[in-house]
Amino acid sequence: MEKEQEPKTIKDKDSSDTSVENDKLKNQEELKSETAEIEEKQEISPEEKIKELEDKLTRTFAEMENQRRRFEKEKDEAFEYGGFSFAKEALSLIDNLERSKQILENDEKLKDTDALKKTLEHLGVINKDLISIFTKNNIKPIECLNKKLNPNFHQAMIEIEDNQKEPGTIVQEIQKGFTLKDRLLRPSLVGVSKKTQNQNKEEENQENRENLENK
């Protein structure tokens, strides 16, 4: 038979409990020490707190100033360009007048008649008045004939052979363009010049001859 284990004495039990308590106290002391060290590192001085508040106030004021400027800009644009859509649609009045004029001019029955002459004069007066009203409201036509093509204001629709003009020069205005102050309402639809094929060949041959002579 195995020898029965003798029960622990009261003295041994008290000693074991004391050891456990000591370990707990030690762990608690270490935890307190670590916590105090962390808090000490995280503690901010009054000067640092003031500086942090000043930085926050500076950023807040800067954001408020940016918002104020954006609001002022939006308000100014709304005041100056609020009628942009209306102005763009109003251009159809000029287009319709121009179309009516062309239809009347191409009518064989009306050619060389006093009625046609008077009608065209009236249409011209109305067109002139419209342009004047637009100009007073900063809606201005784009002058384009005999100028170099500018993609910011002109849209080339066709090329027209013309050896008298530099290539890319506007030689025909198909539809008049307009601006509202410094903004484009619509581009001018134009025809631009290009050299004839024969002219291009002559220039190419001349360039080849010059290159051979220079060698």
Phi/psi for 212 (5° steps) reads -65, -40
Q: Do 120 and 167 belong together in one domain? A: no
pLDDT greater than 50 at residue 13: no
The pLDDT, as a whole number, for residue 61 is 79
Global model pTM greater than 0.75: no
The pLDDT, as a whole number, for residue 206 is 61
The pLDDT, as a whole number, for residue 204 is 60
Q: Estimate to the nearest angstrom the gap between the alpha carbon of 213 and the chain centroid.
A: 52
Helices (H), 43-171: 46-81, 84-105, 114-136
Give the DSSP letter string of 13-34: HHHHHHHHHHHHHHHHHHHHHH
Q: Do 199 and 128 belong together in one domain? A: no
**Domain span holding position 183:** 139-215
Domain annotation covers residue 14: no
- Specify the CATH number for the domain of residue 147: 2.30.22.10
Domain annotation covers residue 48: no
The model's pLDDT over 104-144, given as tens digits with 9 standing for 90+, comes to: 888 888 888 888 899 999 999 998 998 898 888 888 999 99
Q: Do 213 and 143 belong together in one domain? A: yes
The pLDDT, as a whole number, for residue 142 is 92
Q: Do 92 and 123 belong together in one domain? A: yes
Q: Do 126 and 147 belong together in one domain? A: no
Q: Which of 178, 190, 184 is nearest to 93 (CA)?
A: 178
Domain annotation covers residue 9: no
* Number of domain units in the chain: 2
Q: Which of 114, 137, 160 is the last residue of a domain?
A: 137
Q: Do 92 and 127 belong together in one domain? A: yes
Q: Do 179 and 120 belong together in one domain? A: no
Q: Do 128 and 154 belong together in one domain? A: no
The model's pLDDT over 164-190, given as tens digits with 9 standing for 90+, comes to: 888 999 999 999 999 988 889 999 999
∠ CA(139), CA(193), CA(97), 5° rounding?
Answer: 35
Q: Do 133 and 187 belong together in one domain? A: no
Domain annotation covers residue 26: no
The pLDDT, as a whole number, for residue 10 is 45
Domain annotation covers residue 5: no
Q: Which residue has the higher pLDDT, 22 or 178?
A: 178
Q: Do 213 and 151 belong together in one domain? A: yes
3-state secondary structure of 182: coil
